[in-house]
Amino acid sequence: MSSIVLGLMRIAKMSDGEIQRLFGAAREAGVNVVDHADIYGGEYHLCEKRFGEAIVLSAAEREAISIQSKVGIRPGYFDFSKEHILATVDKSLAALKTDYLDLLLLHRPDTLVEPEEVAEAFNQLQAAGKVREFGVSNHTPGQIDLLKTAVTVPLSFNQVQLSITHAPLFAQGVAANMAGLDQSISRDNGLLDYSRINKMTLQAWSPFQKAFFDGVFLGDRENFADLNDALDELAEQYGVTPTGIAVAWITRHPANIQVVLGTTNPGRVADAAAGTDVTLTRQEWYRLFRAAGHTLP
């Protein structure tokens, strides 16, 4: 699987041609993973449907890419019931016009989860050839271990929010055991180390967001002047764009994290993908970390 994942949550109002150009640019840049969710598009399965209508794949082309989708978010509540998982996957497959998903993720933790129901759904989907691999999204180590009390198929992926400026995944561990520092508070219960130990692939969503859907840090010199200076300098040094360096910062980590893009601009996809060929030095990585405002004790 490529280090870049093409997120398709914003394609609902795009034409077939626009979707084809976006997908084509991603494939040309070496991207072979596309990301969906049943809720994307403002209407259930709408973005999946638009992709299925616009992108007609031969059998060989279908095998060459990985299609992943997510299940579990319903209006006003979360639902990991066996019935909902099975019904949703069938609707996703119909919308995408494919016989199987390469990866199915549980979308956000359902605190009312019954691990046995999830296990039954996953086993049934795998036995029927409808889903090849399974994972979660935004789950803590404890929530994953709870699922594993019943789920026997590997849980190989976890999609989490991560960018240079929104990096508690990295920043907490760097500043552990420092009283009075907000950065030292654990918000994911050691998820980074847990993922590496258990060989779970992390997927970073919102890789350019300042925090939670409040705009991008790229070009924001009012709030992140030092960071943008560093991004610009490294971009010139490596012959890529600042977008590429922001991607390189994530993919430089030895956890082998994938980057989920949300852009619908083919050029930005190419810019981001170019960053996966850049290997930042330790000094450069930590320079960006500090420039983003994180404390390095």
Backbone angles phi, psi at 260, to 5 degrees: -95, 115
CA 173, 175, 177, 182: dihedral to nearest 10 degrees? Answer: -100
In angstroms, rounded to a whole number, what is the distance separating the alpha carbons of residues 73 and 52? 21
Backbone angles phi, psi at 103, to 5 degrees: -150, 135
Q: Tokens for 181, please give them.
A: 């520092």
In angstroms, rounded to a whole number, what is the distance separating the alpha carbons of residues 148 and 141? 10
> How far is residue 70 from each of residues 36, 55, 56, 149, 170, measured CA to CA in Å?
7, 19, 21, 21, 25
Q: Tokens for 190, please give them.
A: 């050691």
Q: Is the dihedral of CA 86, 36, 217, 168 positive or negative?
A: positive
Is 40 an annotated catalytic residue? yes
Active-site residue, from 40, 44, 77, 100: 40
Q: Tokens for 40, please give them.
A: 């994307």
- Catalytically active residues, by annotation: 40
